[in-house]
Structure 1
Amino acid sequence: MFLPLHDTNPLRHLQVPYVTYGLMAFTTLVYLIQAMLPQSSFDLLAVEFGMIPIVVRDVYPQPLPWLPDWAGLFTYAFLHANWMHLLSNMLFLWVFGDNIEDAMGHVRFLVFYLACAALAGLAHLAFNPNDISPLIGASGAVAGVMGAYVLLYPHARVFVLARIVIPIPLPIPAFWMLGFWIATQLFFLVIGSNEPVAWWAHLGGFLAGMVLAATLKRRAVPLWGGR
């Protein structure tokens, strides 16, 4: 898998992508709090604030009575299983989030990010309606950012760390880099991977991001840009 390092896509409407940085900071802070807890409390937090399909469907009562059943569709995106899980999601958000915030504006980007998280969670729920395990992680929301990027800036160059003989940075058009990513998700979904990865959430978030980006972008931002 290619790891994105940075892109060559300058901001055109904003000076600072405050929402992207804020989401990264808040998500990291939540994980630092998680990491300081004993394992039993760590697991309990995932149950209480993760997205559990049978809880969202109101088949089983919400672990926290004061929290609505649907709240897990948003809160799960700010929890992570370990630091590698966190860093991989934040890396992708760092590389691609600023341009999508630039294309939408601060408020619409925040709405977009949360909507992608919820729709990714619903995609996972649709194919795992009786699952009792909590879904956690920003992957679905970040996949939405990636879907928006491939729609708005497919020609932008993304420097990725590729291991051929030794790891080297290579400039690749976003369309090919993100296309490879989505093809990987489909491949593992088809072969029935045993990895504890929410493939449907990734796909659902990616598609949601493409659809929402077309409606939430600024009028001045064209589709299929980034040249």
Structure 2
Amino acid sequence: MVIPVHDVNPARRTPWVTYALLVANVVVFVFLTPGVVGSVTGESSLAQLCDLQAFLERYAVVPQELIHHRMPRLVPTGQTGVGPQGPGCVVGPPGYDKSPELSVLTAMFLHGGWLHLLGNMLFLWIFGNNIEDRLGHVRYLLFYLVCGYAACYGFSLLDAGSHEPLIGASGAIAGVLGAYLVLYPKARVWVLVPFLVFLPLRLPAWIVLGLWFVLQAVYSTGQGVSAAGTVAYVAHVVGFAVGALLAWPLKPGTPPPPEPRGVLFGRRARRTW
């Protein structure tokens, strides 16, 4: 798997919406999500875990709730207790009203750990500015939300009986990647390729994002991963496909990215004339 670092595709306008999304995701994770300290140290107390379970139950997408539009009778309360099997998290009737449809929006700003957050923000930082530049600020925000909703509903329809919370901006960002592949397939992307050491290479976007999509599609079938159930790869595939379809009508009027000259694979190329 290659790690994108930077694309050679300057934008004409400041990507204010992309910046706002980046800040919002970081703020929600650092200041509003319980157990962030434990996610850094790797040590979480039972109280922190119970608090996080209750938080996710309230603000994350639960496929069964979303598809059947009904709340469970018992949810984690965030409190700890001692039962027949020892200490654990207390469950009880929900003390709040939850809109499953609105939870799709709140879930887009929740992440399960620092790697989850930073990985998503890296892709949004690199590829989001050009899609915002092409669509404009308002249309880009709507596009982002539509892709996120489509990804959540697509995953939930295929696993309508699941009680596991679904979180992350991955579905919406996958839509951004799909649009980038359609609009700027020849844009050059600097990537790091792990091969003994990290090798810097400049590859066309169609290779970088095409490979990413193929891997997500393969992983969504359970092939090549040991814990496919912990990552909603299907949501990535759906978000990517929706983003690509929405961007397709804009392809004829999209100017091509500039072709970089004089630099090849991280070194300045020598002229032969």
Q: TM-score, structure 2 length as denominator? A: 0.76
Aligned structure 1 segments of 4 or more residues deviating by more than 3 angstroms: 62-67, 217-220
**Aligned residues with identical type, % of pairs:** 38
Aligned partner letter, 2:254: V
Q: Which has the larger radius of gyration?
A: 2
1:37-71 Cα distance to aligned partner (Å, 9 max, x none): 93322222211111111111235317574442211
- Equivalent residue number for residue 25 of structure 1: 23
CA apart distance, 1:202: 0.4
Instruction: Name the structure with the higher helix share.
Output: 1
Determine which structure has greater relative contact order: mean sequence separation of CA pairs < 8 Å that are 6+ residues apart, divided by chain length. Answer: 1
- Equivalent residue number for residue 155 of structure 1: 186
Task: Answer whether contact 1:80 1:137 (CA < 8 A) is retained.
Answer: yes
Residues 170 and 69 of structure 1: CA distance in aligned 2, closer, same or farther (over 3 Å): same
- Equivalent residue number for residue 104 of structure 2: 73
Structure 2 unaligned residues grouped into runs of 5+? 39-47, 73-93, 260-273
Are 2:71 and 1:44 aligned?
A: no
- Equivalent residue number for residue 3 of structure 1: 3
Task: Answer whether contact 2:220 2:232 (CA < 8 A) is retained.
Answer: no
Number of equivalenced pairs: 222
1:164-211 Cα distance to aligned partner (Å, 9 max, x none): 231021101000000110111122223444231101100000001111
Q: 1:127 aligns with which of 151, 155, 158?
A: 158
CA distance in 2, matches of 1:78, 1:177: 25
Residues 157 and 200 of structure 1: CA distance in aligned 2, closer, same or farther (over 3 Å): same
Secondary structure of 1:78's partner? coil
Aligned partner letter, 1:10: P
- Equivalent residue number for residue 206 of structure 1: 240
Task: Answer whether contact 2:69 2:100 (CA < 8 A) is retained.
Answer: no
Task: Answer whether contact 2:190 2:203 (CA < 8 A) is retained.
Answer: yes
User: RMSD between aligned alpha carbons?
Assistant: 2.0
Aligned partner letter, 1:211: L
- Equivalent residue number for residue 221 of structure 1: 254
Matches within 5 A, 1:112-191: 112-191=143-222
Aligned partner letter, 1:3: I
CA distance in 1, matches of 2:95, 2:213: 35
Task: Answer whether contact 1:58 1:69 (CA < 8 A) is retained.
Answer: no
Instruction: Name the structure with the higher strand share.
Output: 2
Aligned partner letter, 1:26: A
Q: TM-score, structure 1 length as denominator? A: 0.91
CA distance in 2, matches of 1:98, 1:70: 28
- Equivalent residue number for residue 60 of structure 1: 70
